[in-house]
Amino acid sequence: MKNMCAIVAIMAVFTLAVCFVMIGAASVELKAKLGLTDGQIGMMVLIFSLTCIVAQLTAGPLVDRVGHKPLAITGFVVAAVSIFLLGLVRSYSPAVLAAMLLGIGSICCNTVGNTLLPVVLFGGKEPARASNFGNAFVGLGFALPPLLIGVLQTDVGMSYEATMSLIAAIILAFAAFAIFSTYPKVSTGFDLSRVTGLLRSPIVIVAALALVCYIGLEFTMNTWIKLLMVELFEKAGHDEAGIARNAGLVLTAFAFAMAVGRFLTSTIKNLTQIGTKVIAAMAAVSIVTIVVMSITGSPVVAIVAVFVTGLAFAPMFPTIVGVTFSKFDPALYGSVFGTIFSIGLLGPAFLPYVIGKASEASSIQQAMPIAAVISGALVVVALLMGWAYRRQNKE
């Protein structure tokens, strides 16, 4: 059914978020179960990110060859299998394999969701607004794993393995919607032969750099917020039995803030025109909040900083994508998105890993200023993006 296509696109970006946050949401449990270090958690994120880069180069062309339906079904199924495996692992090597499968599933969903949203929402006329509305469900996807892992284990008594299996079953159910949906015939796949030409465009270059900064920051928060809050709760003398649960709920609050922020941003009708200013302003806010996280000894202050960071991060990814799309014909959306997103994935390939390695000699909190530096870089890149946006006519 045609009216189900938008639902599938939203489910796809929701699943993308579940995959992106999964390692961070399960980090405390994986460290306890497998005896991992922060550096090994960071390495899992690095391997996940590198897998995403390779998968992005493959998934895009497949959309044009086989259509959105097979890619959507594959994404939901592979993502579900990877989450199920992450719940059952007994050693580090299978956990790394699960991270790789998680990367493949996430990128299949990402390619489907983020190329369909600007086409199927708001009549295809407001790409930045459509991207923000659809990607509000990314915030909800970020919230699901830490919420279920924390609440079901601590409050319900469900095992880690059973909780992960439940999350996997939810994602697997989305495949049924993908099977019965129909999809637009507009070409939205990634054409590798177009990359060289697109990289001559200033807006594409600067958008890719913006995503390097932003996706790196988003992964950093998803990976380390839970462990950061564990550190702060332990220092504050909180009850040990509830520390992991409460730390997971803080990660859920971050995700909820992103969802709320994106729904609010989607109501701004001239967002495409003012998008680069919004990105720069929110990046500046995130510098302050990340610095607060890195110096405070109060869990309450840190929680407020985390929530405000979520609000600040909310419009960044969809607005970067939407502003960039507004300068191109819809037939090029897949190629444009594949180019900037593939480059953007270099951010999470290094930033969470660097913070994890740095924390081994100190703590997650003491390593967080590294993220604040990247937020500062994003302010500069957003200003450059505004210049490129004004300079480039729609192609």
pLDDT at position 126: 72
Do 314 and 265 form a contact (C-beta atoms < 8 A)?
yes
Of the candidate ranges 17-26, 99-108, 246-255, 331-340, the one whose mean pLDDT is the lowest: 331-340
Mind spelling out the 3-state secondary structure of 189-242? CCCHHHHHHHCCCHHHHHHHHHHHHHHHHHHHHHHHHHHHHHHHHHHCCCCHHH
pLDDT at 336 over 60: yes
User: Within 10 Å of residue 246's Cβ, how many Cβ atoms?
Assistant: 18
Exposed, middle or buried: residue 125 (CB in 10 Å: 0-12, 13-18, 19+)?
Answer: exposed
> 329: part of which helix (H) or strand (E)?
none
Do 257 and 311 form a contact (C-beta atoms < 8 A)?
yes
pLDDT at position 2: 52
pLDDT at position 71: 93
Q: Which of 136-145, 272-281, 286-295, 341-350 is most confident?
A: 286-295
Maximal CA-CA distance, the chain: 59
Mean pLDDT, residues 262-271 taken together: 80
Residue type, 220: T
pLDDT at position 392: 65
User: Within 10 Å of residue 186's Cβ, how many Cβ atoms?
Assistant: 16
pLDDT at 128 over 70: no
pLDDT at 60 over 90: no
Torsion angle, CA of 122/258/283/100, rounded to 10 degrees? -100
Report residue 395's pLDDT band, with 50, 70 and 90 as the boundaries. Answer: very low
Of the candidate ranges 68-72, 137-141, 193-197, 241-245, the one whose mean pLDDT is the lowest: 193-197
Report residue 65's pLDDT band, with 50, 70 and 90 as the boundaries. Answer: confident
Higher pLDDT, residue 51 or 195: 51
Exposed, middle or buried: residue 90 (CB in 10 Å: 0-12, 13-18, 19+)?
Answer: exposed
Report residue 186's pLDDT band, with 50, 70 and 90 as the boundaries. Answer: low
* 3-class DSSP state of 1: coil
Mean pLDDT, residues 90-106 taken together: 96
Tokens of 297: 């000894």
> What's the Rg (C-alpha) of the chain?
19
Q: What domains does the chain contain, in order, with CATH numbers? A: 1-188 (1.20.1250.20), 192-394 (1.20.1250.20)
Mean pLDDT, residues 302-308 taken together: 98
Taking the C-alpha atoms of residue 275 and residue 325, their distance in angstroms, rounded to an integer, is: 12
pLDDT at position 187: 57
Taking the C-alpha atoms of residue 162 and residue 261, their distance in angstroms, rounded to an integer, is: 32
pLDDT at 228 over 80: yes
